[in-house]
Amino acid sequence: MQKREKIYEGKAKIIYTTDDADLLIQYFKDDASAFDGKKKGSIREKGILNNGISSRIFLYLEEQGIKTHFIKKLSDREMLVRNLKIIPVEVVVRNVIAGSLSKRMGIAEGAPLKDTILEFYYKSDELGDPMLNEDHIRVFELATKEEVEILKDQAQKINDLLLAFLSERGIRLIDFKLEFGTNKDGIFLGDEITPDGCRLWDKETNEKMDKDRFRRDLGKIEESYQEVSRRICES
Ligand code: TMP
Ligand code: ASP
């Protein structure tokens, strides 16, 4: 499958059309950004590692009955995916207090949650991805009520599956972000599942193995992505 026209370039990925209107190629870059693009950098071979990690996770989710946009890994940095109309609502799933939830509630990172928390954010770089509730989503017609129910159900199922998959590989899933999209066959999980959009802590030491190492200048960034890749792709 050949790349045709570049139709989108984001912070970490480029999207190309193919000869088939139903399929796109997702190319993973090494660029990293945080804090609405105010912090920029590059993580060596991140694109290769993230393509491998995301491919492995999408394959697992597909095997477990989750509809994803993933068709196959094409090369080191390229993945063939379904062409989706992205729903402009990011779904964040939280199992442990961290990041913006820790700030908002004034509770230290690492404190357990008695139940999973789902949050919605408006996918808008200009606005800095503001938080939404279900009324905002419905009234501003970002998604229908039925679609929101599917997003919530799928996010919970994906969380249960990933918690088990990662735990078996010595990784605690603290929180993560999902994006969904639609085509004529329904709603599919899109985008990527990588250490860029998940908080992953070592099960034994609680050491951070994700993009927080870049956001917070914690060092050992490449090593952490490599270790996540080793645990996920080699087993
Ligand atoms: P937060 O604590 O900053 O709200 O992030 C929660 C999780 O969602 C974390 O794993 C990082 C991920 N995330 C993204 O991937 N992109 C985003 O734009 C945001 C806000 C969060
Ligand atoms: N949306 C965030 C940003 O680039 C993503 C992140 O912090 O991971 O500012």
Q: CATH number, domain at 72?
A: 3.30.200.20
| DSSP code for 18 | -
Q: Which helix (H) or strand (E) holds 199?
A: strand 198-202
Q: Whose CA is nearest to atom 6 of ligand 2?
A: 34
Which ligand has the shortest distance to the CA of 199? Answer: 1
Q: Which ligand 1 atom sits closest to the C-alpha of 174?
A: 10
In testing the pocket of ligand 1, which one of 102, 105, 113, 177 has its CB within 8 Å of the most ligand atoms? Answer: 177
Which residue segment(s) compose the domain that 213 sits in? 85-221
CB contact at 8 A, 104 and 92: no
**pLDDT beyond 90 at 235:** no
In a domain, 232, yes or no: no
* CB neighbour class for 55 (10 Å; exposed up to 12, middle 13-18, buried from 19): buried
> Do 75 and 190 share a domain, yes or no?
no
Last residue of a domain, one of 51, 82, 113: 82
Query: On the CB side of 234, how many CA atoms lie within 13 Å of its CA?
Result: 8
CA distance 197 to 215: 12
What band does 36 get if pLDDT is binned at 50, 70 and 90?
A: confident
> Do 108 and 45 share a domain, yes or no?
no
Q: How far is the CA of 52 from the centre of ligand 1 (A)?
A: 21
Per-residue pLDDT of 185-203, as tens digits, reads 999 999 999 999 999 999 9
Angle of helix 221-233 versus helix 46-63 axis, rounded to 10: 30
What band does 208 get if pLDDT is binned at 50, 70 and 90?
A: very high
CA distances from 205 to 61, 98, 174, 221 (A): 27, 16, 14, 17
CB contact at 8 A, 220 and 208: no
In a domain, 231, yes or no: no
Percent of the chain with pLDDT over 90: 98
Q: Which ligand 1 atom sits closest to the C-alpha of 98?
A: 2
Provide the pLDDT for residue 47. 98
* CB neighbour list of residue 10: distance below 8 Å, 6 or more residues apart: none
What is the average pLDDT across 29-54? 96
Q: How far is the CA of 197 from the centre of ligand 2 (A)?
A: 8
> Do 206 and 193 share a domain, yes or no?
yes
Among the ranges given (33-37, 136-140, 222-226), the one the predictor scored with the smallest mean pLDDT: 33-37
Which ligand has the shortest distance to the CA of 32? Answer: 2
Q: Whose CA is nearest to atom 8 of ligand 2?
A: 34
**pLDDT beyond 90 at 102:** yes
Tally the residues of the chain.
Answer: 235
CA distance 213 to 204: 18
What is the average pLDDT across 129-142? 98
Which ligand has the shortest distance to the CA of 176? Answer: 1
In a domain, 90, yes or no: yes
Q: How far is the CA of 2 from the centre of ligand 2 (A)?
A: 30
- How many domains is the chain built from? 2
